[in-house]
Structure formats: C-alpha cells, structure tokens
C-alpha cells in the first residue's frame, strides 16, 4: 500500500467520534502534529477488537505533537513534545503552519 503521508509532513488527527473500538486517544483528536517515523502496516484496532485475524491493514505513523498544541494551558516548557502512533485512516493533511 502506498503511504499517504511523508516524514516531516504536518497532519491533523481526525476529530471523529466513534462507536467502534479504537486506540486513537481523545486528547489527540483534532490536533495537529508532524509525522516523524513510519511504522509497518498493521491490522487496525477497529477490526482487531472483533477477533478478526484477517482485519484490514494499513500504514501506521508516529506523530509528534507539541505539548502546547495538545493542551493550551500546558504548564511545562515550549520544547516539550508527545509522540504516539496513529493509523492512516485517522490522519488528514494539515497544510503549512500558519503562525
């Protein structure tokens, strides 16, 4: 499967609510970060939860967020970040930074 996102690309986590099992944390939804690493193509958790071994696979990425972008009232320092893995379906392009 061709990867939709490149290393260094800014991405936004889709702000979707879901009734399905997911591992995409609520606090990252709607937030923008940068793709810093590729991960293999894995079965997405939305299918895995049903015990399907033949679930849909898709590329995963490591996305790095600035803490300030996750938590507007973050009490640490500007340099602080958080990384987490996200499946491709949860990401959309975020375009160039506008600040």
Partner 1 sequence: MSSDHDHDHDHAPIQEAPEIDEFEVLETAVRELSIEHGLFSAEDHRRFSEWAQSIGPTGGSRLVAKAWVDSEFKQRLLADGTTASEEIGIDWHDPTGTGTPSDYTYFYVLENTPEVHNTIVCTLCSCYPRPVLGMSPEWYRTPHYRRRMVRWPREVLAEFGLHLPPEVEVRVHDSNQKSRFMVMPMRPEGTDGWSEDQLAAIVTRDTMIGVALPQVSWTASAAPSEPTSSA
Q: Which stretch binds partner 1 (CB under 8 A): 9-17, 35-43, 91-99?
A: 35-43
* C-beta of 9 vs 71, nearer to partner 1: 71
Q: Residues in contact with partner 1, total (CB under 8 A)? A: 25
Dist. CA 23–CA 13, nearest whole Å: 12
Binding map of partner 1 across residues 39-78, x = CB under 8 A, - = no contact: xx-x--x--------------x---x--x--xx---xxx-
Task: State yes or no: residue 32 binds partner 1 (CB under 8 A).
Answer: no
Q: In angstroms, how far apart are the furthest CA atoms of the chain?
A: 44
* Identity of the residue, 12 or 90, whose beta carbon is nearer to partner 1 in the bound complex: 90
Rg of the chain on CA atoms, in Å:
14
As measured in angstroms, the least distance from the Cβ of 90 to partner 1 is 11
The tally of CA atoms less than 13 A away on the side-chain side of residue 42 is: 14
User: Which position among 82, 88, 89, 94 is part of the footprint of partner 1 (CB under 8 A)?
Assistant: 82
């Amino acid at each position: 499967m061709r990867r939709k996102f490149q290393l260094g690309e800014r991405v936004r986590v889709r702000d979707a609510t879901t009734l399905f099992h997911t591992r995409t944390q609520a606090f990252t939804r709607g937030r923008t970060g940068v793709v810093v690493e590729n991960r293999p193509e894995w079965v997405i958790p939305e299918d895995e939860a049903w015990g399907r071994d033949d679930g849909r696979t898709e590329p995963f990425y490591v996305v790095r967020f600035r803490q300030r972008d996750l938590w507007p009232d973050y009490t640490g320092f500007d340099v602080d970040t958080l990384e987490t893995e996200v499946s491709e379906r949860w990401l959309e392009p975020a375009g160039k930074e506008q600040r």
